[in-house]
A = this chain, B = another copy of it.
Amino acid sequence: MSKLTLSMAEKVIAAAFAKGAELKLKPLTVAVLDAGGHLVALSRQDGSSIMRPQIASGKAYGALAVGTGTRWLNANAETRPHFVQALNGASGGAIVPVPGGVLIREGDGGEVLGAVGISGDTSDNDEAAAVAGIEAIGKTSDCG
């Protein structure tokens, strides 16, 4: 059901970790979800805290949920918090609405292949690592 292969997900994770090393980020957890919102691969670096898998997955899921990166959800959380809270409830708590959840698109505005969610450092740095991961497979990032 997914065009996002495990081989692609592994490359995304490796490139995100490389970006984290380059920027000297804290230990990261990276989740790669297919277009249906299901995990393809997840890796948690040594020292990344215990809820990072849910946070990383929740960012990626949030991006898929609304069809754009979680930067959009983060902005909405300020302008209309009731909407973001409702999304949280409707998803059974599966959405984490801060930057770091980035859609993987086939070209600008193109088909959604999946999403990357990263947690561990600041939300901005998490997002930068996600973008680096998506670049590594030649796809387009949608940060929201």
Q: Tell me the A residues contacting B by CB distance below 8 Å.
A: 1-2, 5-6, 9-10, 34-51, 53-55, 58, 64-67, 74, 77-78, 80-98, 111-112
> In whole angstroms, how far apart are the Cα atoms of A67 and B48 in the complex?
8
> In whole angstroms, how far apart are the Cα atoms of A6 and B77 in the complex?
31
Q: Are A6 and B89 in contact (CB under 8 A)?
A: no
A83 partner residues in chain B, CB cutoff 8 A: 96-98
> In whole angstroms, how far apart are the Cα atoms of A55 and B64 in the complex?
13
8 Å CB contact of A98 from B43, B82, B94, B111: B82
A85 partner residues in chain B, CB cutoff 8 A: 82, 85, 88
Q: Are B74 and A50 in contact (CB under 8 A)?
A: no
Q: Are A50 and B1 in contact (CB under 8 A)?
A: yes
Please state the number of chain copies in the assembly.
4
Given contacts A43-B41, A44-B40, A49-B66, are A1 and B111 in contact (CB under 8 A)? yes
Q: Are A2 and B92 in contact (CB under 8 A)?
A: no
With both chains docked as a complex, state the minimum distance between the C-beta of A97 and any C-beta of chain B, in angstroms: 5
Given contacts A1-B50, A45-B6, are A86 and B86 in contact (CB under 8 A)? no
Q: Quick one: closest B residue to A29, CB to CB?
A: B39
Given contacts A1-B50, A83-B98, are A41 and B44 in contact (CB under 8 A)? yes
> In whole angstroms, how far apart are the Cα atoms of A94 and B40 in the complex?
19
With both chains docked as a complex, state the minimum distance between the C-beta of A25 and any C-beta of chain B, in angstroms: 13
Q: Find the residue from A40, A43, A74, A90 having the highest chain B CB count within 10 A.
A: A90
